[in-house]
């Protein structure tokens, strides 16, 4: 039996889904689920659905609820804990949201996207014209750069099948002038900013170099898991930049502007900035500040179950192309986990599991680490890249969970 991937991901190429209706997708999906419900097949575990007689062993280190002020300020940060995660794609209504300014509810018929600045031929498109362009899909796991930066923020991640039209051909049609070095994406949301004594209204904005912006996986996205992009996720159009942290995926897009200097707006240069204190060879301690951009290698242990005395550890890994995942129980050796789901999707999280046969009663720790295809290992919390960090962004250190058996 093969997983129901045929309808799923066609990153980089125009979708093969165009000829398959949403109804086909639902029917095929539900038939498969019905078949699974009757069996205790390995696929069952891949979906993270608990099988007959399999019980969740709760973690001792559950995330606390986020402060009300954080939810008011940023939106639904997703307080559901990892044990409740049961599907590989995150339903839209369970997907976290983070919004730094207001949350505009835009009318499709009044909306336009303008592409201007240092281009030969400025372009203005309405939603119909965007929909009429070639369709492309990607399954991409979007994580906020602040996820795991606080003990109450551990659900700032979700996996969805995004559809839209590729960005690169539109930029090429506009014709980027020689002097252009940065592509700035502006949202329709705006807030008050102050630099020195200058008060101003600013739209949310992020930029990418020309080369980054032209990456073939980047989408002007209008669809999330088969539905029109929900308002909180950026209706009618957002940037989906596979391989980047959430902040780069600008919602409620209204303008794309090519400029001749690196953009230094709040979310590039002042806020989403990782600050470290790093020693140099001469012994000097240097403060560094780097923009939060491309996603980093990460994994979590999501849940532990027990069935007939055998424990099973489930988890996820993402951020970079994953080669393998390893798990350490207490101070034992690193053991190879089995990747069950998602390996064929470059930009989506992988679901993995490890059977833990000799679990003895008592308290235990479980740590996971992901290894990417280049052999890079997800850093331990004590490694300088994590330990020297002074801001909470890019918290991709190895996560240790605690559990009591028996």
Binding site for ligand MTE (CB under 6 A): 95-101, 142, 144, 187, 189, 204, 233, 246-247, 249-252
CB of 130 to ligand MTE, least distance (A): 17
313 binds Mo ion (CB under 5 A): no
Any residues with CB less than 8 A from the CB of 389 and at least 6 apart, and which?
274, 275, 276, 395
256 binds Mo ion (CB under 5 A): no
First to last CA, the chain: 35
CB of 98 to Mo ion, least distance (A): 4
Select from ligand MTE, Mo ion, none the partner in contact with residue 314, using the beta carbon and a kind-dependent cut-off of 5 to 8 Å. Answer: none
CB of 147 to ligand MTE, least distance (A): 8
Q: Name which of 250 and 322 has its Cβ closer to ligand MTE.
A: 250
Q: Name which of 98 and 174 has its Cβ closer to ligand MTE.
A: 98
- Measured between alpha carbons, how far is 126 from 131 in angstroms, rounded to an integer? 9
Select from ligand MTE, Mo ion, none the partner in contact with residue 329, using the beta carbon and a kind-dependent cut-off of 5 to 8 Å. Answer: none
Q: Name which of 49 and 100 has its Cβ closer to ligand MTE.
A: 100
Using CB under 5 A, pick the residue from 43, 47, 77, 98 that binds Mo ion.
Answer: 98
In the DSSP assignment, the letter for residue 178 is T
Site map (CB under 5 A) of Mo ion, residues 132-151, x = contact: ------------x-------
246 binds Mo ion (CB under 5 A): yes
Any residues with CB less than 8 A from the CB of 26 and at least 6 apart, and which?
none
DSSP strands (E only) in 225-266: 227-228, 238-240, 253-259
- Measured between alpha carbons, how far is 90 from 87 in angstroms, rounded to an integer? 6
CB of 344 to Mo ion, least distance (A): 27
**Contact region for Mo ion (CB under 5 A) — 88-96, 98-106, 285-293, 356-364?**
98-106
Q: Name which of 100 and 307 has its Cβ closer to ligand MTE.
A: 100
Select from Mo ion, ligand MTE, none the partner in contact with residue 133, using the beta carbon and a kind-dependent cut-off of 5 to 8 Å. Answer: none
77 binds Mo ion (CB under 5 A): no
Yes or no: say if 310 and 356 are a contact pair by the CB < 8 Å rule.
yes
Beta strands 55-57 and 298-307 are antiparallel
Closest C-alpha to 272, from 252, 256, 292, 286: 292
SS3 270: helix
Q: Name which of 246 and 315 has its Cβ closer to Mo ion.
A: 246
CB of 222 to Mo ion, least distance (A): 21
DSSP strands (E only) in 76-145: 113-117, 123-125, 136-143
Any residues with CB less than 8 A from the CB of 355 and at least 6 apart, and which?
310, 311, 312, 313
Cα-only R_g, the chain: 22
250 binds Mo ion (CB under 5 A): no
In the DSSP assignment, the letter for residue 201 is E
Q: Name which of 293 and 353 has its Cβ closer to ligand MTE.
A: 293
47 binds Mo ion (CB under 5 A): no
Q: Name which of 139 and 305 has its Cβ closer to ligand MTE.
A: 139
Select from ligand MTE, Mo ion, none the partner in contact with residue 251, using the beta carbon and a kind-dependent cut-off of 5 to 8 Å. Answer: ligand MTE
Alpha carbons within 13 angstroms on the beta-carbon side of residue 242 total 31
221 binds Mo ion (CB under 5 A): no
Q: Name which of 139 and 249 has its Cβ closer to ligand MTE.
A: 249
Yes or no: say if 181 and 259 are a contact pair by the CB < 8 Å rule.
yes
Yes or no: say if 366 and 313 are a contact pair by the CB < 8 Å rule.
yes
248 binds Mo ion (CB under 5 A): no
Contacting positions for Mo ion (CB under 5 A): 98, 144, 246-247
């Amino acid at each position: 039996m093969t997983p129901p991937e045929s309808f799923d991901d066609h990153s980089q190429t125009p979708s093969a889904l165009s000829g398959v209706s949403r109804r086909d997708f639902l029917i095929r999906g539900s038939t498969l689920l019905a078949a699974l419900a009757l069996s205790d097949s390995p696929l069952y575990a891949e979906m993270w659905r608990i099988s007959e007689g399999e019980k969740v062993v709760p973690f001792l280190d559950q995330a606390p609820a986020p402060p009300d002020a954080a939810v008011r300020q940023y939106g639904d940060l997703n307080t559901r804990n990892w044990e409740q995660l049961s599907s590989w794609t995150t339903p839209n209504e369970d997907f976290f949201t983070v919004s730094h300014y207001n949350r505009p509810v835009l009318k499709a018929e009044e909306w336009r996207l303008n592409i201007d600045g240092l281009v030969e031929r400025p372009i203005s498109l309405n939603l119909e014209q965007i929909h009429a362009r070639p369709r492309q899909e990607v399954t991409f796991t979007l994580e906020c750069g602040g996820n795991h930066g606080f003990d109450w923020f551990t659900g700032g991640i979700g996996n969805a099948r995004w559809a839209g039209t590729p960005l690169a051909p539109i930029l090429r049609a506009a014709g980027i002038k020689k002097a252009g070095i940065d592509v700035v994406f502006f949202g329709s949301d705006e807030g008050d900013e102050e630099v020195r004594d200058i008060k101003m209204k600013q739209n949310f904005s992020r930029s990418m170099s020309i080369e980054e912006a032209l990456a073939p996986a980047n989408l002007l996205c209008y669809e999330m898991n088969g539905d029109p992009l929900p308002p909180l996720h950026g209706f009618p159009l957002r940037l989906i930049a596979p391989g980047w942290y959430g902040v780069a995926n600008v919602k409620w897009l209204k303008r794309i502007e090519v400029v001749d200097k690196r953009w230094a707006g709040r979310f590039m240069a002042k806020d989403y900035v990782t600050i470290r204190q790093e020693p140099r060879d001469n012994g000097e301690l240097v403060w560094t500040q780097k923009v939060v951009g491309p996603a980093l290698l990460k994994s979590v242990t999501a849940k532990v179950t027990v069935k007939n005395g055998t424990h099973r550890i489930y988890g996820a890994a993402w951020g970079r192309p994953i080669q393998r995942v390893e798990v350490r129980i207490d101070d034992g050796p690193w053991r190879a986990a089995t990747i069950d789901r998602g390996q064929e999707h470059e930009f989506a999280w992988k679901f993995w599991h490890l059977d833990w046969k000799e679990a003895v009663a008592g308290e235990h720790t479980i740590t996971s680490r992901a290894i990417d295809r280049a052999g890079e290992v997800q850093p331990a919390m004590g490694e300088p890249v994590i330990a020297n960090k002074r801001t909470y962004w890019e918290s991709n250190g190895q996560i240790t969970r605690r559990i009591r058996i028996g």
